[in-house]
Amino acid sequence: MTHKLTLMTDDSGSSTIQRRQERLTHLIEQLLEDGWTQTALAQKVGVDFSTVYRWLKGKSIPETDSKNFQKLANLSGGDSKTLQLYLDGEISLSAYRQGLEIKLVDQEKISKTSTSEMIKKEVLAKIYSLDPADIAEVISRSVTFLAKRA
């Protein structure tokens, strides 16, 4: 008599966590390529250097309802909703970082805010994170840009 053993895996378990950690690692690597250091990221998000190191090495991931998650999202070009969508694999890293070409997998996960409104929110979030001198430079360049278009 032969017995057949079937091995079943739960795709929603550790492999999902592992994929989310890999996506976070890619995001942190992108930020480092953009010129951030692990120390600067840690200071801006408000965590210890070792926390950013663990994110980069795929050892941990911030809780989605934490201030750290929100700060990381704002710093990296999105908000907590879009960062969640990126980590869940529902949008690409470039779509998350640019706020463009978002493919809606589930219409309820993103509010019916227009693309231009999302871009405005992202730009404002980035502006709020700047020093006052940098904000003045952004305004000056914007005025120059608008004057050229007129």
Structure-block tokens of residue 111: 């509010």
Higher pLDDT, 111 or 7: 111
Whether 104 shows a pLDDT value over 50: the answer reads no
Whole-angstrom distance, CA of residue 79 vs CA of residue 22:
19
Whether 75 shows a pLDDT value over 60: the answer reads yes
Structure-block tokens of residue 36: 């951030």
Tell me the domains of the chain and their CATH numbers.
Answer: 14-111 (1.10.260)
Structure-block tokens of residue 76: 């990296």
